[in-house]
Amino acid sequence: MRRPQPLSGSARGFLLLSLIAAGAAALFACQTIDGDRITGKDLAAANPIFASLDPAAVLAPAPLPGVQRVFHSAELLRIARREGIALAAPVAEICFARAAEPLTAEKLLPVLRAALSLEGAKIEILDFSRAPVPRGDIDFRRAGLSPAGLWRGRVNFGDNQSMPVWARVRITTEQTWIEAAAPLAPGKPVEASQLKQVTGPRFPFGPAPISSINDAAGRAVLRAVNPGEPIFANMLIAARQIERGDTVRVDVSCGAAHLSLEAVSQTAGRTGELILLKNPENGRFFQARVAGKDQASILK
């Protein structure tokens, strides 16, 4: 039978370090606590030597989430002497950490639904805080939801303490809106045939597109609009009734006297605006107020 070979010095050193590391890991495995204070009950649960401590005695504040509170041997010795506990040997250090657990979509979804409080809304959770959070109340408010879908909230725990959390969501409701069915040129009257009504899911908050073709037909857009682009109210202005170069019928009234003439518009305008016109018979320029499509008036 082959005899086992002795370990080299480096191998023995590596094995010793591994054993020390394993022992240290076991030694510093933190006890979890739920409250805001580390009490005699917690210390007794970590080491039965302290079983005689008053369970309600407050020994230290609980650490913040993600932070450890270590009672070193000297501190434990002072506690033992103060409480009349005889120690035959030094006590190993004891570590405490606040109990925490990761968020899950299953925990978040009912909280987000309650915060949104919008019938028929669909909430899709795309991502959320991955850091463990203390056990407490998950709190999201609608005011924390951005149009980009980032929803900021908090986990409330302990005595008026909280920790920020977030979720990235896609929220939609079934809506009806108007889109461009053809390219729309700025300043040109929009025809009903250039528009289409669409129904589908959309984000329910913030500016919404118009929902009726009648709200846009006959008006003009401020900028070029591509097919498939939603139409918003702030994109629309009254269409110009007269364009430069149009032949305009001008009605002139002066008391009981009334006459009409045709002139050529030198500027464009909408109802109620003043435009510059040219009388083709004598070449004179004059101003009149737009009264409608290719119509203007002068009151004296």
Q: Mind giving me the DSSP string for 72-98?
A: -HHHHHHHHHHTT---SSPPPPEEEEE
Domains identified in the chain and CATH numbers: 17-98 (no CATH), 101-172 (no CATH), 174-238 (3.90.1210.10), 247-299 (2.30.30.760)
Pair 70, 60: CB distance under 8 Å = no
Strand 68-71 relative to strand 94-98, pairing:
antiparallel
Q: Are 32 and 45 in contact (CB under 8 A)?
A: no
pLDDT tens readout for residues 90-123: 889 999 999 999 999 999 999 999 999 999 999 9
Instruction: Report the percentage of the chain scoring pLDDT > 90.
Output: 70
Q: Are 138 and 152 in contact (CB under 8 A)?
A: no
| φ, ψ at 20 (rounded to 5°) | -65, -45
Rounded CA separation 242/251 (Å): 15
- For the stretch 26-77, pLDDT in tens is 344 789 998 889 999 999 999 999 999 999 999 999 998 888 999 999 999 9
Q: Tell me the whole-structure pTM to 2 decimals.
A: 0.61
